[in-house]
Amino acid sequence: MGKSIILGVGDFGATAETNGILKTYALGSCVAVMILDKKTRCVSMAHVALPESSISPSKAMSLPGYFADTAIPALFEAMKRATGGVLSPANDLIVKMCGGANVSDTNNTFNIGKRNALALKKTLWKYGLAPRADDTGGNFSRTVALYQATGIVEISSPGKENWKI
Amino acid sequence: MSQDNYKKIEKQIDTIPPLSPVTSQLLAIISEPNHSLQDVVTVVETDAILTSIVLKTVNSAAYGLKDTVETAVDAIRFLGDSMVAGLAIKREKSGISDAPLTGYLADADASWAHSLKTAIAARYFAKRFSNGKVREGVAYTAGILHDIGKSLLSSLLPAESFQSINDSEFLELEEQLLGINHAEAGFMLAYKWSLPKAMCEVIRWHHEPSKAAEEFKTLAYIIHLADITAMMSGSGTGIDTMRHSIDSEYKKFITVDERGLELAFFEIQLEYNQTFKAIQACFDSSKSVKSEEVK
Ligand SMILES: [Fe+2]
Ligand SMILES: [Fe+2]
How do residues B198-213 score in pLDDT, each as one tens digit? 999 999 999 999 999 9
Residues B173 and B53 in one domain: no
Q: What is the pLDDT of residue B206?
A: 97
Domain residue spans in chain A?
A: 4-164
Nearest by CB: A26 against B165, B169, B236 = B236
Q: What is the pLDDT of residue B283?
A: 75
Domain finish residue from B52, B75, B91: B91
Structural domains in chain B (count): 2
Domain finish residue from B28, B63, B91: B91
Residues B140 and B258 in one domain: yes
Domain finish residue from B64, B91, B118: B91
Q: Is B64 helix (H, G, I), strand (E, B) or coil?
A: coil
In this model, does residue B264 exceed pLDDT 70?
yes
Q: Residue A40 C-alpha to ligand 2 middle, in angstroms? A: 43
Residues B128 and B223 in one domain: yes
Residues B71 and B137 in one domain: no
Residues B203 and B248 in one domain: yes
Q: What is the mean pLDDT of residues B169-183?
A: 88
Provide the chain B residues 252-281 that lie in CB contact (below 8 A) with chain A: 258-259, 262-263, 265-267, 269-270, 273
Comparing alpha-carbon positions, the chain B residue that sits nearest to A48 is B233
Question: What CATH number corresponds to the domain at position B241?
Answer: 1.10.3210.10
Residues B260 and B241 in one domain: yes
Q: What is the pLDDT of residue B294?
A: 35
Mapped to the 3 state alphabet, what secondary structure does chain B carry?
A: CHHHHHHHHHHHHHHCCCCCHHHHHHHHHHHCCCCCHHHHHHHHHCCHHHHHHHHHHHCCCCCCCCCCCCCHHHHHHHHCHHHHHHHHHHHCCCCCCCCCCHHHCCCCCHHHHHHHHHHHHHHHHHHHHCCCCCCHHHHHHHHHHCCHHHHHHHHHCCHHHHHHCCCCCHHHHHHHHHCCCHHHHHHHHHHHCCCCHHHHHHHHHCCCHHHCCHHHHHHHHHHHHHHHHHHHCCCCCCCCCCCCCECCCHHHHCCCCHHHHHHHHHHHHHHHHHHHHHHHHHHHHCHHHCCCCCC
Residues B173 and B241 in one domain: yes
Q: What is the pLDDT of residue B2?
A: 57
Task: Quote the domain boundaries for residue B252.
Answer: 99-279
Tell which residue, B229, B253, B223, has the closest CA to residue B142.
Answer: B223
Range picked from A52-66, B107-121, B210-224 for highest mean pLDDT: B210-224
> Residue B166 — very low, low, confident or very high, per pLDDT cuts 50/70/90?
low
Catalytic residue among A7, A14, A27, A30: A30
pLDDT block averages, 10 residues each, chain A of length 165: 86 93 94 96 96 88 92 96 92 95 80 94 95 93 95 92 91
Instruction: Kindly report the average pLDDT of chain B as a whole number.
Output: 87
Provide the chain A residues 87-126 that lie in CB contact (below 8 A) with chain B: 101-107, 109-110, 112-113
Residues B111 and B77 in one domain: no
What's the CATH class of domain A4-164? alpha beta
Q: What is the mean pLDDT of residues B36-61?
A: 91
Residues B63 and B196 in one domain: no
Quick check: B37 contacting A, CB < 8 Å?
A: no
CA quadruple B146, B147, B151, B155: dihedral sign: positive
Q: Is A98 assigned a catalytic role?
A: no
Residues B146 and B173 in one domain: yes
**Percentage of chain B surpassing pLDDT 90?**
46
Residues B87 and B103 in one domain: no
Q: Say if B15 falls within a structural domain.
A: no
Residues B80 and B180 in one domain: no
Q: Say if B228 falls within a structural domain.
A: yes
